[in-house]
Amino acid sequence: MIYNNKKKILIIEDQLNIRRILSKKLKSLDYQVLTISDGREALKILNFFSPDLIVLDIMLPGINGYDICKEIRKTYMIPIIFLTALSTVGDQVKGFELGANDYIVKPFSLEEIERRILAILIKNNIKEKKSIVLKNDKLIIDLKNRIILNENSSFQLNQIEIEILKLLLSNKTKIFSRKEILNFVWGFTYITHFDYRIVDLYISKLRHKIEKEPTNPIYIQTIRGIGYKFFQKGFKIEK
pLDDT, residue 130, reads 46
CB 66 within 8 A of CB 80: no
Q: What is the pLDDT of residues 33-57, one digit of tens each?
A: 999 999 999 998 887 888 999 999 9
Numbers of helices and strands, H then E, in the chain: 8, 12
> Of all residues in the chain, what percent carry a pLDDT higher than 70?
90
The yes-or-no verdict on residue 1 having pLDDT over 50 is no
Domain ranges (residues) in the chain: 8-125, 133-238
- Peptide bond before 79: cis, by omega within 30 degrees of 0? no
The yes-or-no verdict on residue 195 having pLDDT over 80 is no
Could you give the C-alpha distances from 187 to 72, 81, 102, 148, in angstroms and in order?
Answer: 23, 13, 9, 25
pLDDT averaged over every residue in the chain: 86
From the options 3.40.50.720, 3.40.50.2300, 3.40.30.10, 3.55.10.10, give the CATH code of 8-125: 3.40.50.2300
Average pLDDT for 118-145: 74
- DSSP code of 176? B
- 171 confidence band (pLDDT: 50, 70, 90): confident
Question: pTM value?
Answer: 0.62
From the options 3.30.460.20, 1.10.10.10, 1.20.1250.20, 1.10.10.60, give the CATH code of 133-238: 1.10.10.10
Q: What is the pLDDT of residues 73-105, one digit of tens each?
A: 888 888 999 999 998 989 999 999 998 999 999
Greater model confidence, 239 or 111? 111
pLDDT, residue 62, reads 86
pLDDT, residue 183, reads 80
